[in-house]
A and B are shown apart, each in its own frame.
Chain A
Amino acid sequence: MTTTQERRLEDTVLGSAAGRFYRHQNFGTGLLGGVGLGFLLWLLGEYTVNNNPNYGTDMVVTLTMLGWVIGFNLGVGTFNAVLHWILGHDQTKEDELYAAGVGQGKSRYWKYCTDHKVVGTQYLILVFVLFFIGGTLAMMIRTQLLTPNSSFLSPQTYNAIVSIHGMTMIIATIIMVSGPFANFIMPIMIGAKDMAFPRLNAMSIWVIVSAVPPLMATFFVGGVNAGWTTYAPLSVQDGPAMVCFAFTIITFVVSVTVAGINTLITVLTMRAPGMTFSRMPVFVWASVIGGALGLYAMPAFLLDMTMMVSDHATGTSFFVSAQGGSGWLWENVFWIMGHPEVYVILIPPVGALMEVFSTFSRKPMFAYKMIIGAMIGIAGLSIMVWAHHMFTTGWAPDLAGPFMLTTELISIPTGIIFLCAIGTMWRGSNWVRLPMYFGFLFIWNFIVGGVTGIYLSDVPADDYFHGNMFVTAHFHYTLLGGAMIAATAGLCYWFPKVTGRMLDEKTGRAAFWLIAIGFQVTYLAQFYEGFKGMPRRVANYDPIFAPENVVSSIGAYVLMAGWIVLLYALVSSWRSGSIAPANPWSAKSLEWQTLTPVPLENFLEDVTVVNDAYGYGERAELQVHAVFGSTSDAHHGEGH
């Protein structure tokens, strides 16, 4: 590709006034703003509403959390653009370039930055932090469960850790692909210069950052004892920690909604010429479907959590049976969100994985349209299955059959995606690099997770398995063994493009084997615990379950060791790995056709897409995905 230096915006020298307030704002000022306003509203609450004997404390905590979230985002610069807009002071081009990180070096990663690649990297780091927290909590859980009557943790602390482990991991997995890769990679894949709304993009990351401290604060105000699903009435009986928990979710919903809209509009309006829907890479489709499903699911999460805050802080009784409320309302609304959310987590990583399979098999995507149709089918069915989580609650027994049917129907489009994945690899020139290792692991894990899901969708079987360790093993096989492993494949695949360095393959493979073996040991043992009838979420258990728990805990330590080794490989490679070429995998999609590091507006020349991105082994004219340059001097990109 021709390098046209004069068009590189990142080389622009900005005036000293560029950026205005942004110049003085960063993560530190965000912390100051959050703590400051949080403290002020706490004081206000203490002197105004804390005298209410029933819910004064919860109201004070509500005000404090509100102050934290608003203050942090004011401090970091999230609202600058809105305030400028209201005042009628549009930002100049220099201001915009400053906001995009021009001339700021690495400090831009600590600031409100509108460059989608910076936002993607910020998401990636946040995901690492969340997984580290969630993983550490998981190790504490498994340590507690090493022996039947362990006193490593008190029962209350154990419950609190289980709850926050669950929600931390759910948040992390929801954003683990839609955050880093739908931000960093997806716009480049469609030939766009940025996301449709760069400011909203930056807003989405900083709003979600502000959601994390309230979640951790739960430990200091009594802990959440109701599990990550926070079923009523347990959650209504919880203390102010539940308010912090709900605030995390409310803030998180704002971020996910904004990010989802941004993704959809970016794909709808910013595709390069020639990038028709039928030429869009599968990962782009997966991001769109995941984003759309998130838009459907998140309002339910918002409603449930807002009502929960209201029950705690204003004395309403949505979930208090003694005053006319119902725990079933919570469960219904929660799972109207909850099951689509599983596919918000799953579909984007699967899309990423399909890119890996095609690239490393050197074959066109097998049944491309079937894959897209299956993803849409999964998304559509996922909104009609929520009550399979409630078979044993007594809610609407007559609907158990229909919900069992819709749930089992999901296995059809899921199976289609499996077949397409295998079809893509079948008789390909398979190049088994680290992303493929994780791809193979996904295939095995998700088969186990998927098949055991059919057991749970079956009403009679669910009567036995519900609420026991079988469920725990099942959803870890799907979300950790499936989605997270697929996301890891994506991470290994795009690592050279994101960091400009090659990932240390040798250390990565060592990590892979630890993860693969540790995972099976951990969760196959938990399946066995489930078969024997061990309930989940218990701090102490009958000694008859001891052998499986010892095995599961040992497996968990091996698994954690694997993740730590992988983290080491990622960090050391990022810091000092060998410099990555622009297209180390000789892949065809657009992100590999541009420079590494990627220029500010992604491409130095205009992009015109002429075929899909999977023309491996096709006749010459179909192998070219895109041409670069103006119409008159267009030339073919690399990788054809």
Chain B
Amino acid sequence: MSATQEHDVTHEGGHHDTPEQRDRKELSALVLFIAGDAIFLILEILAWFYLRALDTQNGWRFSKATPANPATSGSNNPHTIVHEVAKVAPGWTIVIAALALIAGLAAWWAEGNARKGVAHAPILAAALVVALAGIGAQVYQFQILPFSTTDGTYASMFEFFMGSVLAHLFLVVVVLLGVWNRARKGMYNEVWYQIRLARVWTLWVAISGIFLAVTAIFFA
């Protein structure tokens, strides 16, 4: 049985759905999932601004300031958290969002190629590699941060944002891994809507990553 035939007879998704019906259902479900994720994103950013505005006991940025640790040493010190972050952290934040964006655009390109019936698996492989690079960059960013989670709420929120991006990128990698492997086996030669789903999800992760990066960089 060919992959396409197998796809058509599958019982999942409402019993004998056509690919068009499954496309509609799965895209709608993804849109709803993204809507829920967007609410999570908005609340994350609200939490950032709320804690920043409250600055309870001056704890937003500098709760562990010591002369021996200039990375976290007071708002008038040039070696503040913000200064260090300006050198290290936001740059990577943007890089990571950009990598997600590139992966999403690559998936879009692959989707176009699949529609035209030309090679798309290598492009999806590239998207996967870029997404994996995003995960690598995110892990690296965790390692080079000049503060730890215990250095006040700015540090807490910043690392929470990073954790959120990492979790999303993990899902991107899972999706792209599956889509690439199936593309490699020729399973999207006729029915390619799953590549579109991967593209939509990956681009959403890039957009949410950009929102988090902008918040972290411009509203420290």
Contact = CB atoms under 8 A, between A and B. Distances in A.
Interface in B43-94: 43-44, 47, 50-51, 54-61, 63
Contact of A316 (B24, B159, B185): B159
A124 B29 CA distance: 25
A446 B157 CA distance: 42
Contacts of A114: 12
B10 interface: yes
B11 A264 contact: no
A296 B39 contact: yes
Nearest to B150: A315
A4 interface: no
B172 to A, nearest CB: 13
A325 B39 contact: no
Contacts of A310: 149, 156, 160, 163
Given A88-B187, A265-B29, A317 B150 contact: yes
A317 to B, nearest CB: 5
Contacts of B54: 324, 326, 328
Interface residues of B, number: 57
Interface string A70-88: 0000000000011001111
A93 B11 contact: yes
Contact of A324 (B9, B56, B148): B56
B58 A324 contact: yes
A197 interface: yes
A606 to B, nearest CB: 13
A197 B17 CA distance: 11
A325 B153 contact: yes
Interface stretch (B108-116, B175-183, B202-210, B211-219): B175-183
A85 B178 contact: yes
Contact of A317 (B29, B36, B153): B153
**A interface residue count range (under 10 / 10 to 19 / 20 to 34 / 35 or more):** 35 or more
Given A269-B28, A323-B63, A332-B50, A303 B11 contact: no
Interface string A174-200: 000000000000000000111111110
> Of residues A196, A302, A336, which shows the largest number of chain B Cβ atoms within 10 Å of its Cβ?
A196
A317 B59 contact: yes
B10 A91 contact: yes
Interface string A335-378: 01000000000000000000000000000000000000000000
B47 A318 contact: yes
A21 to B, nearest CB: 16
B59 A298 contact: no
Contact of B150 (A93, A99, A260, A323): A323
B36 A299 contact: yes
Given A307-B160, A316-B156, A197 B15 contact: no
Given A86-B177, A197-B29, A325 B43 contact: no
Contacts of A321: 56-57, 59
Contact of B57 (A300, A324, A329): A324
A96 B152 CA distance: 51
Given A264-B28, A310-B160, A336-B43, 18 more contacts: A86-B178, A90-B3, A90-B7, A97-B11, A100-B11, A193-B14, A270-B14, A295-B39, A315-B150, A316-B149, A316-B153, A318-B156, A321-B59, A323-B57, A324-B51, A328-B50, A329-B47, A333-B47
Interface of B: 1, 3, 6-7, 9-15, 21, 24-25, 28-29, 32-33, 35-37, 39-40, 43-44, 47, 50-51, 54-61, 63, 148-150, 152-157, 159-160, 163, 174, 177-178, 181-182, 184-185, 187
